[in-house]
Structure 1
Amino acid sequence: MNSLEPIKPESDTAMPNVTDTKMKTMKALYYENFGGPEVLQIRDVPIPEPKDNEVLIKVEASHYSNGDAIARTGKTPWPLMQIPAKILMGIFKPKNRILGGEFSGTVEQVGQGVSKYKLGDRVFGFTDMQFGAHAEFVCLPETAPITHCPGEVSFEDAAAIGGSNAQTALHFVQTANIQPGDHVLINGASGGIGRVALQLAKHKGATVVGTCSAQNKELVLALGADEAIDYRTTDFTQQGKKYDVIIDCAGFLSWRKVEPVLTAKGKHLLAMFYISHLLKQRQTKGKGGKQQLCVLAPGSAEKLQMIGTLLASGGLKPVISKRFPMNKAIEAAALYDTNTQAGCIILLPQVWNEK
């Protein structure tokens, strides 16, 4: 089977619907200890029961992402978040035993106090620090960062765009106030946030340059970049070009390095940052010149609605590299760790295929 073709559930391989069978358990990607893919297992766990303000969602597709890898290992590459992350994820054992943040699915049950959603609604979004989406069902408050999924958008595409990644990219573009004709550089343009930020900047009418590895240059150009730079062989700060906006999705570029290549009122935005970046932000923000901005993007259903509209219109295109049925979820996690996939890895919790 071609890995880029969706797996079709068959009568003898599709998992039963909770409404039809009234089953009390579901399959989930579960772990009890921090570590590599070997700590993961497929386990039967209770189906969550929605409270008055919650919705139970049948997960049709979920996105195995960087957040899953961080949660599974219990380690974050962001120095400022190492202590908070341990508190949130667990000091010695994981607090949330089921992975999965970005997903799409169908509302299966609603609490008595829910007014925003009804049975059968198609939704997508992310679970934030609750995780739990790599399972047949996930239960969330109706106020969670989820929203309705347009009928024109497939469940796989809705999950692949990455509810967290997409709204973070949108927040970057809005914060930068990108205008038609602006020259924008996306550092890490082939990553989950970078792919969306690149497309959004082009949608705004900007000229976009993306940095990536040589193996991902064609992908970055296909997503609309005017130029793709191999960061291993070329330092964009030494090319003599100026940028109105630099969105740093890949690392911790220093102000000393990027300040010379910003235009007079250029902005440098970082997804991850050190204390030195925060201090430089305090010195530069709102002063009318070049700015360094450390951007935190809160979960927002409103931003996700905008993402859904762009998906439906073709203004955003997700990139899927491979799909896995539920019984191959551990293989999916191992593949993610190889860092060889140019696009998203999608899990299909409702599909059980032993082949």
Structure 2
Amino acid sequence: MKAVVYTTYGSPDVLQLKEVKKPTPKDNEVLVKVHAVSANAADLHLLRADPFLTRLMSGLLKPKNTILGSDIAGRIEAVGRNVKEFQAGDEVFGDISGCGWGGFAEYVSVPEHVLVLKPANRTFEQAAAVPMAAVTALQGIRDKGQIQAGQKVLINGASGGVGTFAVQIAKSFGAEVTAVCSTGKINMVRALGADHVIDYTQEDFTKNGQQYDLIIAANGYHSILEYKKSLNPTGIYVMTGGSMAQMFQAMLLGPWISMTGSKKMHNAMAKPNQKDLTFIKELLEAGTIVPVIDRKYPLCKVPEALRYLEEGHAIGKVIITVEGNC
């Protein structure tokens, strides 16, 4: 089968399209013919081994798993003898980052518990856009953010992969949502349901005097103290993405700020699980959330897709369509 492989850390230039051995499913696994897979910031972190601490998990000198890609959508081709939930022919999607990655390939073999059935009313490309970003948004808003109906929620980075889902999920919980994005993305974010939109090129939300019950930082470069200033006295801040400085501040300063005051500062690292993905699937089926797809690339153009994603201007998700000619 064809797969996009990397054997050394570096830029997208180190990725190569190669012929590799097609996997065989173990007793508790299913073999999925991949139709679409999305590109995520997590792929870039692993590719570049940035931050350096990722090497402790992914391999100190070279990557242990040589095929990136976590969010897959496809059709099951074969099942292991102990598989109970699925059968050959089922259309499925899921986040496979917890079981070795491998989505940038024509086939992948994964445990059945990481997948759910694809909504019939969504394409493979739409389904592949969902797992990591939507579950990250859900866990940040519901679990870390403890959202309540009627709360004022601000989402910084509202036009990105996590942000577009965060706007829609926060609205589904009955929140009053303020979205922060750039000028050209305002209409799209409003269409997702945002009640208010702040153009960060024209206004700094940390300096306008407004305070929020919950802030989701899906992108951006504000310091954790600036976010703290924009919270109400019992507000919650949840970092789901952004600059490296922002991530380290959330991990290192967040716990201290939370212990010494009434405002809570959290770092949300998504934990893929079937239950939350099933919840997201139901929102997809109901039309409560709709994936936003910016661009699609064929499998042989994964390096170009990751370069575009790394520029930081993608609207929603960047998708790799595995079938088709380059």
TM-score using structure 2 length: 0.90
Q: Give the letter aligned to residue 328 of structure 1.
A: K
Per-residue CA distance 1:96-125 (angstroms, 9 max, x = gap): 111111111111111111112111111111
**Other-structure match for 1:317:** 290
Aligned mates of 1:292, 1:330 — CA distance in 2: 35
**Other-structure match for 1:280:** 257
Aligned mates of 1:101, 1:135 — CA distance in 2: 11
Return the index of the structure with the highest Cα Rg. 1
* CA drift at 1:55: 1.0
Aligned mates of 2:311, 2:164 — CA distance in 1: 19
Classify 1:198/1:47 alpha carbon distance in 2 versus 1 (closer, same or farther; 3 Å): same
Aligned mates of 2:303, 2:218 — CA distance in 1: 27
**Other-structure match for 1:170:** 138
Counterparts in 2 of 1:19-34, with a 5 A limit?
A: 26-34=1-9
**Which secondary structure state, in structure 1, belongs to the residue aligned with residue 127 of structure 2?**
helix
* CA drift at 1:254: 4.5
**Other-structure match for 2:12:** 37
- Residue 133 (str. 1) matches residue 108 (str. 2): no
**Other-structure match for 1:155:** 124
CA contact (8 A) 1:281 1:294 kept: no
The partner residue of 2:299 within 304, 319, 326 is: 326
Classify 1:327/1:253 alpha carbon distance in 2 versus 1 (closer, same or farther; 3 Å): closer
Moved more, 97-106 or 226-235: 226-235
- Residue 222 (str. 1) matches residue 191 (str. 2): yes
Classify 1:44/1:185 alpha carbon distance in 2 versus 1 (closer, same or farther; 3 Å): same
Q: Give the letter aligned to residue 58 of structure 1.
A: K
**Which secondary structure state, in structure 2, belongs to the residue aligned with residue 143 of structure 1?**
helix
CA contact (8 A) 2:41 2:310 kept: no
Gaps of 5+ in 1: 1-25, 77-81
* CA drift at 1:214: 2.6
**Which secondary structure state, in structure 2, belongs to the residue aligned with residue 228 of structure 1?**
strand
Classify 1:65/1:182 alpha carbon distance in 2 versus 1 (closer, same or farther; 3 Å): same
Classify 1:260/1:335 alpha carbon distance in 2 versus 1 (closer, same or farther; 3 Å): closer
CA contact (8 A) 2:257 2:263 kept: no
* CA drift at 1:253: 4.8
CA contact (8 A) 2:155 2:167 kept: yes
**Other-structure match for 1:237:** 206
Classify 1:296/1:340 alpha carbon distance in 2 versus 1 (closer, same or farther; 3 Å): closer
Gaps of 5+ in 2: 241-246
Per-residue CA distance 1:72-104 (angstroms, 9 max, x = gap): 21213xxxxx42x11122222121111111111
**Other-structure match for 1:58:** 33
What is the root-mean-square deviation of aligned Cα atoms in Å?
Answer: 1.9
Per-residue CA distance 1:290-317 (angstroms, 9 max, x = gap): 3223333321111101111111111111
Q: Give the letter aligned to residue 106 of structure 2.
A: E
* CA drift at 1:264: 3.4
Counterparts in 2 of 1:332-347, with a 5 A limit?
A: 332-347=305-320
Aligned mates of 2:260, 2:267 — CA distance in 1: 12
Classify 1:276/1:186 alpha carbon distance in 2 versus 1 (closer, same or farther; 3 Å): same
Aligned mates of 1:299, 1:228 — CA distance in 2: 30
Identity over the aligned pairs, expressed in percent?
37
Per-residue CA distance 1:244-271 (angstroms, 9 max, x = gap): 1111222575453233332232211222
**Which secondary structure state, in structure 1, belongs to the residue aligned with residue 27 of structure 2?**
coil
Aligned mates of 1:237, 1:343 — CA distance in 2: 24
Q: How many residues align?
A: 316
Q: Give the letter aligned to residue 211 of structure 1.
A: V
**Other-structure match for 2:244:** none
Aligned mates of 2:267, 2:258 — CA distance in 1: 7
**Other-structure match for 2:178:** 209
Aligned mates of 2:201, 2:119 — CA distance in 1: 39
TM-score using structure 1 length: 0.83
The partner residue of 1:306 within 232, 256, 279 is: 279
Q: Give the letter aligned to residue 299 of structure 2.
A: M
CA contact (8 A) 2:160 2:314 kept: no
Aligned mates of 1:339, 1:118 — CA distance in 2: 39
Aligned mates of 1:116, 1:325 — CA distance in 2: 30
Aligned mates of 1:69, 1:230 — CA distance in 2: 27
Aligned mates of 2:137, 2:167 — CA distance in 1: 9
**Other-structure match for 1:117:** 86
Aligned mates of 2:259, 2:272 — CA distance in 1: 24
Counterparts in 2 of 1:257-296, with a 5 A limit?
A: 257-271=226-240, 272=247, 273-284=250-261, 289-296=262-269
Aligned mates of 1:281, 1:296 — CA distance in 2: 17
* CA drift at 1:215: 3.0
The partner residue of 1:105 within 59, 74, 79 is: 74
